[in-house]
Structure 1
Amino acid sequence: MDYLNQQWNDILSPLNNGSSSNNTSSNELFMNKGKNIVNDFDIEDEEAIPLYNRGSSNVNNNENDFEVNENNDFELEHAKYDDFSTIDWLRDIMSEKTGKKRKINKNSLNQYIISIIDASQSWIIVFFVGILSGIVAAFVAISAQWLTDIKLGYCPSNWYLNRRFCCLKVEDKVNHSCARWVNWSQAIFNNPDYGFFNWLIYVFFAGLFAFISSYLVVHVGPYSAMSGVAEIKTILGGFIIKQFLGTKTLIVKCISLPLALGSGLILGKEGSMVHIACCIGNIFTKYLSRFKKNEAKKREIYSAACAAGISVAFGAPIGGVLFSLEEMSSYFPVKTMWRSFFCSMVAVFFFQFMNPFRGKTVLFQATYDRDWHFFEVLSFLIIGVFGGVFGSLFIRLNIRAQAYRRSTFLKYIRIIEATIVAFITAAFSYFIIYMRMDESELLEILFKECEEGDHYGICQHSKKICILLLITMVGKAFFTVLTYGVSVPGGVFIPSMTVGACFGRVLGIIMQYFQQNYPSFPLFSSCHPDKVCITPGMYALLGAMASLGGVTRMTISIVVIMFELTGTLNYIVPCMISLMTAKFVGDAFGKGGIDHMIIRLRNYPYLDQKEEYYIGKQAKDIMVVKDDLITIKSTDATIGYLKKILNETEYQGYPIIDDEEYVTGYITRSDLKTGLERNLLVNDNSICKFGDIKITANSSNNTNSNQDTQIEFRNIDFRPYFDATPICVDENVTAEFVLDLFKKLGSRCILVVRHDKLRGIITKKDILKNIEALDSKYFDSIIGIHRRNQEASGDKNYTIKDALRIFKIFKN
């Protein structure tokens, strides 16, 4: 892995030599690209005193020595995290608390004002994240609808309007005809009946939009592909993917997402809106000091952005907060909940202000005024079983398709693949009205009550309508499995809801048919003879929620989203019944939703905070033993030795021990690299100290020249770069105890000791390897084709290197 140069500001090198006399001598400070070379300096010059020694005059000037008082404070110097590395939650949180304490101790009016401004930064960021998320969501909704309709025709009077706005208040509600809207055969040949030409134009535009969208993703913003929810969950869990939330990714996703939706590919925008909102939040954190260098604080903003993304997608601000809590966030304190709520509120407010659906927050909003009956519980259970079975089947097929796509020639023709899939989808969908519709528009029709009027024959309750709905259900399910994973933006929330809504509507029609034709049957005794007893639209809503729950394994947030969509409390219990049934049935086939399985497929180091695992081992059984580690001696490690282990090994950290193997600290690879870069001109034989030290400088050995300047010190202070209090456990503690430490403390690694002597080390990767072994049989059965291809090629170790390889394929 290439290493990034670390930039450090306002830090003086701890390599100093004192004055040999009490008289003031001339000072000479050489600065070279952030690395300081300090020669003789006057001890009274505060700028020349190391940071940890400022404010103290306890300096020994006898000969060329100075003592660092053990009670003096110094500021820890941590490097930025490397790409594809794990953050240390504990370190970042404590760094934030230390910064606050340092500011509190400075009593002044200016410092008080600065502290208020500093505390308000989080609220300022989530406010602007909410504003931009609402505006971007409105842009995506309007542009995607226009691109969807432009495949069928255009509005001659106002070409920039989609069909809904062009035909507003003038459309024939019965025949769904509109004189203002012109199809392409009429526009070109002045004859609207050239069906083949209309089909040809429809397919052509679908392929064109998909081609442009995929081209942008593959060649400009590779991290814009798919929904991005799996990667965001991993990032919120403490993983670093630096460009995933960058400006280029945001711009590409905002442009390519409407194109992908407009092409007719069976995808949704909801998961992608979460990615877009997080990109917006990440851009703001780059310009505020409180978040710029603190990855844990950044993730508080990301959690709020996730809530805003779902809020504008479903028009459900409270459901968005619960989604962030239930599905996304690993660290969700109360203050983050308030900021998420505020961010969601602002996002929905500005989305409604833009008013893309003319009075509705989302297109498929629905209201129901009838109550449900106890005999319908059986139907709710059937819907739940369908949702669980569909979710499990979809996850299995889609993950296998993604694994196959990444291990065969398809990974080299991603643009062609996306274009072909769009061509096939459009060619098939054109002939079925429900397949041709935008998913949100179809959900709007399926959720409606028939008292509001017939919508594309949905209220005819004939065998033909049921067959069309079942064909649509199968077609949507098939193309969703095929499409989710191609190199275009988009998610599976709305497509999975559409599949479940079709099933629910058919079941509701069947139930209503039996109730109306056999009203005296004892099962229907609670129905009033003169009133409508069963609402098929509500069955469609329950089916949509059950399928979404089966695919994602969410529960509480979906119930709340349903409540905010319908505005009624009557159907919360039926929705809970269907959702819990879907989750139980889905978990019976295998735990984990679609995003969890994508994380497993790509081997991201994500530790699910909500799951409980029984590993049945001790720490010594899962650790990497000391003999397989590279350790650093705290007393006699030289600069040359540190350079050697950095160049010859790829370990992400190194335990520090004394001569008797007692643990004295731990230093990460990036921090070690930073320490060496700041002492670049020091002789390789210089000793690096990781404890209480006495630094001695011999100015007679210093040489100054334009090239190859070297300064020799017998001792180099590395205290600012390493962790002197790493988390340690006894080798006999259970693996479950270690797992809880990783969950609750968010540490990058844990040292294993016996009587304070180092025995080994456990990283998050070691824990995940043992967790994955618990259900490896199930997961291997899902990606069997991909696994067999790996074994055939000799690649049997599917580790984090494979995840890095996948991203390199993405970029190239």
Structure 2
Amino acid sequence: MASSVQLNKTPSTVLSARAQANGGPGETSATIEEGDSHGPEHIGHKDDGPLDWYVEGPGRRVGYDDLTAIDWIYEYTKERQRLRKILAHHTGLVGNLRQLLDASHVWFVLVASGISVGCVAAFINITSDWLGDIKTGYCKKGVGGGDFYLNKQFCCWGHDEFAQCQDWTPWPAALGIRARAGQFVMGYIFFIVFSVLFAVSAAILVKHYSIYAQHSGIAEIKTVLGGFVIRKFLGTWTLVTKSFGLILAVSSGMWLGKEGPFVHLACCCANIIMKPFESLSQNEARKREILSAAAASGISVAFGAPIGGVLFSLEQLSYYFPDKTMWQSFVCAMVAAVTLQALNPFHTGKLVLYQVTYTTGWYSFELAPFILLGIIGGIYGGLFIKLNMLVARLRKSASYPFRNRPLLEILVVSAISAVVNYPNLFMRAQLSELVYYLFAECATIGNNDIFGLCRATTAGALSMAWLLVAASLLGLLLASITFGLRIPAGIILPSLAIGALYGRTLGVVVQLIQKHFSTSLLFAACTTDVPCVIPGTYAIVGAASALAGVTRMTVSIVVIMFELTGALTYVLPIMIAVMLAKWIGDVFSTRGIYESWIQFNEYPYLENKDDAVMPHVLVSSLMTRVEEMKCLDANKPHTVENLQNMLRTTSYRGFPVVAFRKAGADVAETVSNRQYPRENTLLGYISRVELAFALERMTRPSGHRPSPEAETVVDSQTPCYFTYHPDIATGCGIDLRPWMDQTPITLNANSSLQLAVHMFQKLGLRYLLFIDRGAFRGILTKKDVWWILSASADGPRAEGFVADAETRRETALEEDESLEEARGLLQPELGEPAHQKMPS
């Protein structure tokens, strides 16, 4: 830790400094983030001198800017200060009740979020199913067709075969077309028109109301939970836009899912509900604990798997997941699942449409096909990520014809998808319906075999198998193009569908082999009274392997599939397939689809893992050296005008405060003499935001001064100090110590890069300062570490410091002038210099 200079001042001076830093009656806690504010009786001592939390310590903070990283250490320090204040000011029964009320805020938010997520999921499921069926016909049930709002399932409720349902009217029949060829052509046209209409409508909603509603949102949620601030990403408009946009996108029949977006919607609900509770909404660390729990509820309603949702949040999303967060996630996921169960959107008692039940077992000869499914799943996952990233890079290229015309691109892709989907019966159906039939046993399907999955003849089974193969290959191609369009779109359900398609195919082949060679010794364990090979189980194992290959998740997928099927006996085959899919997928790349998008968009997300590959060098060879950056000399007087000019002409996020041996000496000249290790003693670090805010507060007109106790007469030449100075006590200078972090995390400049990276990963640091025998030597920021771990080839270090915002790196999601949007996350943080090419 950097040591602070001993300050010889009285308690009255300390209180005067606090009065100068504190806001007046007009200031709100939303503007300034602060910790405890005790009176004089709570002032401690350090080295027999007075201590104030704002003067010696992390300092006061302003709310975080958009697209910046949070300070985890400060946030938890602030929370401890808040709890100490409650304990100090409330004792006895009143104190116990106050603590109980404070603790109840979290549980109220969790329960309310779970209920909201369940209601939103039910609304989306019901509406998207109806609009999806509208592409093929409408319900004329009821007096004068009054039940047109029913989807095909509810319209034909009670019929054994949908083909015999007279209440559902296809569009060609409604137009009086009786010729089979005419019915096919007209049905084809209606299908294409509605598909394009729904997809373009979703794109228009995203463009005009909330650009943050695009994509699945999981990559951004991971980044947010990792400590990054994205304003409006979890706002009300994003929730509304993504809800309706997701309904339209899913109804279009494109190869996308709603499971990933459910996670984003759940986090939006939690973020909105917690806003009235300042103890949660004004603490970024606690807020992320609630968001982790809400993310579990999103998966809970997406799969009907509460436990799987908790594990998904733990394994895939959360950067920091203590025991209390697991318990909170469990409660939120359970409440969401109970709410969805109570609403019963499918009128079947199921939480999701493709939920099935298996009670049969499997035979030892099936182990080989299950292993093969795991291998196929890993190959599929690797190929999908490669192809999807290829398409994403193509979209960013200047030669891409739809680069600035996303609406036209979505129109073209949706039209192509509809043209390809309609002739293939498996691709024409909604993905959730398709997955249900692929998972189900033939005995369960009965007379409702609309896809012909249970054909008894060998020729019929083989022809159906070829359709399954064609659907899986075309689905891979369409899903890789669709995922990344500027509409709400997830990849989980398409992966399940593709895996179920090739899994069912293999199941049909194995079933035909068993029937052909039923007397073989290999199948001696089979009995005649029950089916020996059940293709639906192969679809389940294939779906799990495909999802594992794409996301590289393991435990959560096994639990989710178990909760979907209730087949305890098939847990072992699913585990084998998932394990192999991950191993095979890691051969292509160790990153899953979400990590690949994080990398592609240059989001500042550091994996909290110990397996990061990094060069074996000293941190001194990669840090930004003191000669290359702008430092504030504590021994040199600064004026308000000087500091404001510095803020205007530089783009750093913050400035180290250093006491140079020769006041006013040139930085490069001063530190060049290594014989004086104490010539640039590090006193602290002040953020650009805090410095700008403090100067703005003190330079307000006299009628808007932040505090009547601050008697300093401020003009452009008023001196500003980062250490104690007599001018502060006399009201002739501005004390900036309360806004300075005087205890920044420091490390020796000769430490290994691996140690520095681990400190960033484990402590959630925004920056790390380096010293050599007490002398300040350099700095590394979170973005520096990200570039190092990414081994990026396009991060050259510029000489000196970044003095112009024009030098910022290209944003993660490029600005689209036609959309007038600025969603992109990663402009390099303003306090970060440009980067040199990192060693591979």
Residue deviations 1:632-688, cap 9 Å, x none? 123434233322221111111111111331111111111111211221252333333
User: Where does residue 645 of structure 1 map in the other structure?
Assistant: 646
Matches within 5 A, 1:402-413: 402-407=392-397, 408-413=400-405
Residue deviations 1:709-742, cap 9 Å, x none? xxxx433222221211111011121111111111
Matches within 5 A, 1:468-507: 468-507=467-506
User: Where does residue 370 of structure 2 map in the other structure?
Assistant: 380
Q: Does residue 108 of structure 2 align to residue 113 of structure 1?
A: no
CA distance in 1, matches of 2:15, 2:153: 65
User: What's the secondary structure of 1:412's corresponding residue?
Assistant: coil
Q: 2:811 aligns with which of 798, 802, 807?
A: 802
Q: 1:129 aligns with which of 113, 118, 136?
A: 113
Of residues 594-603 and 629-638 in structure 1, the stretch that sits farther from structure 2 once superposed is 629-638
Change (3 A) 1:288 1:91: same
Q: Does residue 673 of structure 2 align to residue 663 of structure 1?
A: no
Change (3 A) 1:332 1:807: farther
Q: Does residue 776 of structure 2 align to residue 772 of structure 1?
A: no
Q: Does residue 348 of structure 2 align to residue 365 of structure 1?
A: no
User: What's the secondary structure of 1:372's corresponding residue?
Assistant: coil
- Does the CA-based 8 Å contact 2:90-2:98 persist in structure 1? no
User: Where does residue 75 of structure 2 map in the other structure?
Assistant: 92
Q: 1:714 aligns with which of 723, 732, 738?
A: 732
CA distance in 1, matches of 2:19, 2:166: 85
Matches within 5 A, 1:191-206: 191=178, 193=180, 194-206=183-195
User: Where does residue 21 of structure 1 map in the other structure?
Assistant: none
- Does the CA-based 8 Å contact 2:234-2:267 persist in structure 1? yes
Q: CA deviation at 1:529?
A: 4.8
Q: 1:393 aligns with which of 383, 387, 410?
A: 383
Q: 1:690 aligns with which of 703, 722, 746?
A: 722
Q: Does residue 695 of structure 2 align to residue 676 of structure 1?
A: yes
Matches within 5 A, 1:175-254: 176-189=163-176, 191=178, 193=180, 194-254=183-243
- Does the CA-based 8 Å contact 1:602-1:806 persist in structure 2? no
Q: CA deviation at 1:373?
A: 2.1
Matches within 5 A, 1:745-756: 745-756=763-774
Change (3 A) 1:180 1:676: same
Q: CA deviation at 1:758?
A: 0.8
Of residues 362-371 and 334-343 in structure 1, the stretch that sits farther from structure 2 once superposed is 362-371
User: What's the secondary structure of 2:403's corresponding residue?
Assistant: helix
User: Where does residue 44 of structure 1 map in the other structure?
Assistant: none
Residue deviations 1:361-415, cap 9 Å, x none? 1111122222222222221111111111111111111111112113334131111
Matches within 5 A, 1:374-773: 374-407=364-397, 408-452=400-444, 453=446, 455=449, 456-460=451-455, 462-610=461-609, 612-615=611-614, 616-638=616-638, 639-659=640-660, 660-681=679-700, 682-696=714-728, 713-773=731-791
Of residues 242-251 and 629-638 in structure 1, the stretch that sits farther from structure 2 once superposed is 629-638
User: What's the secondary structure of 2:328's corresponding residue?
Assistant: helix
Residue deviations 1:76-99, cap 9 Å, x none? 420111111111111111111111
User: What's the secondary structure of 1:86's corresponding residue?
Assistant: coil
Q: 2:85 aligns with which of 102, 115, 127?
A: 102
CA distance in 2, matches of 1:283, 1:370: 45
Change (3 A) 1:403 1:637: farther
CA distance in 1, matches of 2:749, 2:818: 40
Matches within 5 A, 1:169-180: 169-172=158-161, 176-180=163-167
Change (3 A) 1:509 1:804: closer
CA distance in 2, matches of 1:611, 1:745: 13
User: Where does residue 9 of structure 2 map in the other structure?
Assistant: none
Q: CA deviation at 1:112?
A: 3.8
- Does the CA-based 8 Å contact 2:203-2:486 persist in structure 1? yes
Matches within 5 A, 1:181-330: 181-189=168-176, 191=178, 193=180, 194-330=183-319
User: What's the secondary structure of 1:571's corresponding residue?
Assistant: helix
Aligned AA (1:669): R
- Does the CA-based 8 Å contact 2:382-2:588 persist in structure 1? yes
- Does the CA-based 8 Å contact 1:563-1:572 persist in structure 2? yes
CA distance in 1, matches of 2:606, 2:583: 22
CA distance in 2, matches of 1:57, 1:600: 47
Of residues 530-539 and 307-316 in structure 1, the stretch that sits farther from structure 2 once superposed is 530-539
Q: CA deviation at 1:807?
A: 7.7
CA distance in 2, matches of 1:316, 1:798: 47
Q: CA deviation at 1:517?
A: 1.1
Q: CA deviation at 1:746?
A: 0.6
Q: Does residue 342 of structure 2 align to residue 333 of structure 1?
A: no
User: What's the secondary structure of 1:688's corresponding residue?
Assistant: strand
CA distance in 2, matches of 1:107, 1:745: 32
Change (3 A) 1:611 1:188: farther
CA distance in 1, matches of 2:409, 2:26: 48
CA distance in 1, matches of 2:191, 2:205: 22
User: Where does residue 77 of structure 1 map in the other structure?
Assistant: 60
**TM-score (norm. length: structure 2):** 0.83
Q: 1:355 aligns with which of 325, 336, 344?
A: 344
Aligned AA (1:353): A
Unaligned residue ranges in structure 2 (runs of 5+): 1-13, 29-35, 142-146, 661-678, 701-713, 795-805, 822-840
- Does the CA-based 8 Å contact 2:257-2:490 persist in structure 1? yes
Change (3 A) 1:30 1:251: closer
Q: CA deviation at 1:262?
A: 0.6
- Does the CA-based 8 Å contact 1:70-1:692 persist in structure 2? no
Residue deviations 1:225-252, cap 9 Å, x none? 1111111111111111111111111110
Change (3 A) 1:807 1:119: farther
CA distance in 2, matches of 1:132, 1:608: 31
CA distance in 1, matches of 2:151, 2:628: 65
User: What's the secondary structure of 1:399's corresponding residue?
Assistant: helix
- Does the CA-based 8 Å contact 1:53-1:74 persist in structure 2? no
- Percent of matched pairs sharing the same residue: 39
Aligned AA (2:746): C
Q: CA deviation at 1:689?
A: 2.9
Aligned AA (1:497): L
Q: CA deviation at 1:502?
A: 0.6
- Does the CA-based 8 Å contact 1:207-1:419 persist in structure 2? yes
Aligned AA (2:592): G
CA distance in 1, matches of 2:39, 2:594: 51
User: Where does residue 800 of structure 2 map in the other structure?
Assistant: none
Q: Does residue 122 of structure 2 align to residue 138 of structure 1?
A: yes
- Does the CA-based 8 Å contact 2:259-2:493 persist in structure 1? yes
Change (3 A) 1:104 1:637: farther
Change (3 A) 1:288 1:810: farther
- Does the CA-based 8 Å contact 2:18-2:738 persist in structure 1? no
Q: CA deviation at 1:34?
A: 5.3
User: What's the secondary structure of 1:105's corresponding residue?
Assistant: helix
- Does the CA-based 8 Å contact 1:519-1:529 persist in structure 2? no
Of residues 451-460 and 525-534 in structure 1, the stretch that sits farther from structure 2 once superposed is 525-534
- Does the CA-based 8 Å contact 1:655-1:666 persist in structure 2? yes
CA distance in 2, matches of 1:490, 1:611: 32
Q: CA deviation at 1:534?
A: 1.7
Unaligned residue ranges in structure 1 (runs of 5+): 1-10, 18-28, 36-50, 59-67, 699-712, 781-796
CA distance in 2, matches of 1:74, 1:599: 36
